[in-house]
Amino acid sequence: MRIGEATPSDIAERLKGDGIGLTLGPCEFRLQSPIAEIATGVHRLYPHHPLRGPADFSTFRVRHDPGILRGRRTVISTVNGQVWHQWPKRLTVGAIEWIFSHCIFRGADDALAVHAAAAVRPGGNGGAIVFPGLSGAGKSTLASTLMMSGWGLLSDEISLFDLDDFHLTGLGRPTILKGHSLEMMSQRYGERAIFGPSGRILDPPVRVAHLLPTEETRELSGQRFAPVAIVFPRRVADAKPELNPIERGTLFSRLSQYGLNFRSLGKRGFETTVELAKRVPAFELVYEDAADAEKFLRHDPLIDALPCVTRGESSTAAAKSADVGKSAIVLEPEASDAASRQMTGSEALPTQNKSCLARSTDDVAQGLRMLVDALHDPDSVVGLTLKQWDQLVLIASHTELLPRIARQLSDDGLASLPDIVRHVLIREKQREELVCKSIEFELLHLQQLLPAVCDRIVLLKGAAYIAADLPWARGRITNDLDLLVPENSLASVEKALADSGYRSKEDISDADARYYRRWLHEVPPVHHPYRRLELDVHFRLLPLADPKSFAVDEMIERSVPIAASPFRMLDPIDRTLHAIINIAHVGEFRRAYRDLWDIYCLLEGRPEDSDGDSVSSFDWDQFARRTTELGIGRAVATVLLLVADLVGRGRPQEFCQLLLQESPERLRRQRLYRDMRRATVPDGPTLRSRSRRFAIWKMEHYPLPRIRTWLDPLTWTKRIQFAKDV
Amino acid sequence: MDSPAESSRWRILVNALVIEPLSEHEFAVYNPCYCDSFVLNAIDAQILRSLDGTKGGSADLKTLLDEVSGALDLPVDPQLRQYAEASLAQMMDIGIVCLEATN
């Protein structure tokens, strides 16, 4: 049965329950949503796809849920448990395709994903012409025109160049059109152009809708084609269509610019792009009207003469026939669909919404158990079934611990995993390696500037772990670089950064800047204009508004040097205290599991830890003394108990008693523990139930700031913060 | 009078840069420390190669100009000097070289 043969209400029921499975190019999706417009959109946009339940393992679990932002209705789109975007309700239908595009490029670990359309010419040699361009370049209009004129459209938005042989994969997806292009396609192709539901964007204020793929295009889904040319579309008023050759350097620059995962692929991405630039002929296509451009490309003798290009050779149509079938367009549907192979019994099952909530709760609990097992014993994941991997990837991705699982898994363990899972983990490793390199490169530059103006620069959290290469922290993702400097060196550090071009974000107002300095623990974040990594310069560890805020001079004084680096890191006890207060007082509880695991590792150490942070070396007496001096015993004890209960398999709960003279059982009954736990543990089908979001909001406001903070008008706008939906 | 750039030494910051010729006058460069890349012309690429080939990975502008002049058969004139300064400044912006002050 196909999606188009079911009723919209049947689709809606399935989406509300376990969801439906969709295969798009190399990615397997599980789509879930309680929103009626999403069900209508899927029914209209994917009528030819088989109606089936989700596969045992989905590369991406996509959800669209209703939300509210500043009193307006929104759609919250999540991928593998992480909120990707919150859309105004009028963009509900657009959200379906935009999130799929995002996932397809994110899922490409062995292909260069270029912002480009690609199409196969009818009657040609079976090769694909690639049309790169940023939004607004006319790519989608040209792609739609080609498709409606009989070309096989592989993609209108993202072209995937295989790193091994340059081949492109057909995605068979709808094409998004807006404004004038939408009207033009309607008028020009009449009833042959079938559109999905429409929405409105505001900039510019026009209608958007999806054009459904033609039969020729659908048949190419999953098929692979060698490129014959790369053509950059450029609309020029009153211009007759013509092709102007482009130099290799320009082609290389543009491909790397439009290559969405170019940096993630590292040197392989570079080498592939160099080869593409050297071997694939490139042109600029000047035209005014897309229909004229189509006719021109269809009959142009220059295009006729171009061979298919694969890595290592230029092949003729005959040589490539094995790749692309006997003719360019008429091709057999992909028989070896990975998703079909791993299809489950859920295809045949009726939707059972009543048990959906209970099932999702069980799934989350099981996912969390597997997560903790994987953290303690990385190779324990070998042997998990696809269904178990599905649960684990969802939870680990939501808590930002998936890259750590991927990184800590042995090479043999990784090699033994099912292909579809291995690719997910390889992609996470690529992402984590890029983050590490970005941090290390930023540190390379900072060490040219800062030691001259401040002799004690302390790296905090993720940046410190990366710089010191702590084995337990490998795979930990960090989005910014945190420095701690003595308050009396702050001005000179800021000046050195400003002199080297570091700037604040444009949206930081003067009032914001004053707020940072008066009430927070860091100055406004800055970034280098080229590298754009956020740099947070701290002068304290807790905001000045926090009643427990303290001076950090002693911590900086006893910080320890990082080997082969001019930077320092907090000593093991202060490092642990910082990790604890960072989650308790300023924490991001959505990923609290990650931070709790950090704390567990800091306390317990690991046998291979070169830093000497072993169980025997952690000085609990000193830890208790410093905690008491800082007056943060309650928060520290509560977090330690959470560590023991959620990730530490019971360790180190005995120290809660040492700190507070209270039994763990008594501590567990207290409101602070219950709120922290509720804010930490993923809950419900969306992993962020209403009660969890409320708990997260409460923890964002813990502890209540000093009373004098409330009297400062600078803080009034910061105070009005409603419970976040995301 | 020498400009600050002339009285200082330029130093390469990134080891193992990959320079791949795309054509006779275009070169793709890969920075493995940041996984980014850029395209240089023949003069830029020669400046980078010369800097990379010097002892300790650093050189003053005059040495660099002599090397580029010798390799590409160009006269050392104010135009080349101006071009090299601008080129090195751009390489500094993208983080592959830095300027070392000399006493």
CA–CA distance, A544 with A626 (Å, rounded to integer): 19
Residue A602 tokens, joined: 């800091």
Q: Could you tell me the pLDDT band of residue A606, with boundaries at 50, 70 and 90?
A: low
* Residues of B with Cβ-Cβ distance to A444 under 8 angstroms: 13, 33, 95
Three-class SS string for A346-396? HHCCCCCHHHHHHHHHHHHHHHHHHHHHHHHCHHHHCCCCHHHHHHHHHHH
Q: What percent of chain A has pLDDT over 70?
A: 90
Least confident stretch, A261-265, A307-311, A545-549 = A307-311
Task: For helices A620-630 and A572-586, give the axis angle rounded to 10 degrees.
Answer: 40
Residue ranges of alpha helices (H) inside A2-132 are: 8-16, 36-45, 92-106
Q: What is the mean pLDDT of residues A676-686?
A: 94
pLDDT at A599 over 90: yes
As for the ipTM of the complex, it is 0.93
Q: What is the pLDDT of residue A321?
A: 34
Q: What is the mean pLDDT of residues A398-407?
A: 96
Q: What is the pLDDT of residue A656?
A: 74
- The reply to whether residue B37 touches residue A247, judged by beta carbons under 8 angstroms, is no
Question: Which position has the higher pLDDT, A301 or A716?
Answer: A301
CB burial class (10 A; 0-12, 13-18, 19+) of residue B2?
Answer: exposed
pLDDT digits (tens, 9 = 90+) for B38-94: 999 999 999 999 999 988 889 999 999 999 999 999 999 999 999 999 999 999 999
CA–CA distance, B65 with B71 (Å, rounded to integer): 10
Say whether pTM exceeds 0.90.
no
pLDDT at A64 over 90: yes
| Nearest chain B residue to A435, by CA | B34
Nearest to A441 among B23, B38, B95 (CB): B95
Q: What is the pLDDT of residue B7?
A: 64
The torsion region of residue B55 among left (phi > 0), alpha (psi -120 to 50) and beta comes to: beta
Phi and psi angles of residue A157, each rounded to the nearest 5 degrees, phi first? -130, -45
Q: What is the pLDDT of residue B21?
A: 97
Contact residues of A toward B, CB < 8 A: 247-250, 252-253, 256, 262-264, 266-267, 269-270, 273-274, 277-278, 434, 437-438, 440-441, 444-445, 448, 501, 528-531
Q: What is the mean pLDDT of residues A311-338?
A: 37
Question: Which position has the higher pLDDT, B27 or A685?
Answer: B27
CA–CA distance, A646 with A403 (Å, rounded to integer): 19
- The reply to whether residue B34 touches residue A441, judged by beta carbons under 8 angstroms, is yes
Q: What is the pLDDT of residue B13?
A: 93
Sign of CA dihedral A210, A215, A221, A227: negative
Q: Could you tell me the pLDDT band of residue A70, with boundaries at 50, 70 and 90?
A: confident
| Nearest chain A residue to B25, by CA | A249
Nearest Cα neighbor of A173 from A214, A201, A203 is A214
pLDDT at A82 over 50: yes
Residue A204 tokens, joined: 């510019």
Question: Which position has the higher pLDDT, A657 or A55?
Answer: A55
Q: Could you tell me the pLDDT band of residue A702, with boundaries at 50, 70 and 90?
A: confident
pLDDT at A594 over 60: yes
CA–CA distance, A380 with A698 (Å, rounded to integer): 36
- The reply to whether residue A263 touches residue B93, judged by beta carbons under 8 angstroms, is no
Query: Average model confidence (pLDDT) for chain A?
Result: 87
Q: Could you tell me the pLDDT band of residue A427, with boundaries at 50, 70 and 90?
A: very high
pLDDT at A663 over 50: yes
A168 beta partners: A161, A225
Nearest Cα neighbor of A596 from A630, A643, A562 is A643
Q: How far is A533 from chain B (nearest CA, A)?
A: 12
Residue A342 tokens, joined: 């791993």
CA–CA distance, B47 with B12 (Å, rounded to integer): 11
Residue A609 tokens, joined: 């830890």
Q: What is the pLDDT of residue B102?
A: 63
Q: Could you tell me the pLDDT band of residue A616, with boundaries at 50, 70 and 90?
A: low
Q: What is the pLDDT of residue A437?
A: 96
Least confident stretch, A128-137, A622-631, A678-687 = A128-137
- The reply to whether residue A252 touches residue B39, judged by beta carbons under 8 angstroms, is yes
Task: Give the H/E segment covering residue A251.
Answer: helix A248-258
CA–CA distance, A683 with A401 (Å, rounded to integer): 17
Whole-number Cα distances in Å, A539 to A491, A535, A695, A708: 11, 13, 29, 20
pLDDT at A375 over 50: yes
Q: What is the mean pLDDT of residues A509-519?
A: 89
DSSP labels for chain B? ---TTTSSEEEE--TT-EEEESSSSEEEEEETTTTEEEEEEHHHHHHHHHHHHSGGGEEEHHHHHHHHHHHHT----HHHHHHHHHHHHHHHHTTSEEEEP--
* Residues of B with Cβ-Cβ distance to A264 under 8 angstroms: 35
Task: For helices A139-148 and A290-299, give the axis angle rounded to 10 degrees.
Answer: 60
- The reply to whether residue A530 touches residue B93, judged by beta carbons under 8 angstroms, is yes
Q: Could you tell me the pLDDT band of residue A187, with boundaries at 50, 70 and 90?
A: very high
Q: In this structure, what is the dihedral angle of CA atoms A543, A547, A551, A552, given to the nearest 10 degrees?
A: -60
| Nearest chain A residue to B40, by CA | A249
CA–CA distance, A474 with A432 (Å, rounded to integer): 9
Q: What is the mean pLDDT of residues A192-200?
A: 88
CA–CA distance, A693 with A687 (Å, rounded to integer): 10
Q: Could you tell me the pLDDT band of residue A651, with boundaries at 50, 70 and 90?
A: confident
Least confident stretch, A286-295, A335-344, A575-584, B51-60 = A335-344
pLDDT digits (tens, 9 = 90+) for A275-284: 999 999 999 9
pLDDT at A726 over 50: no
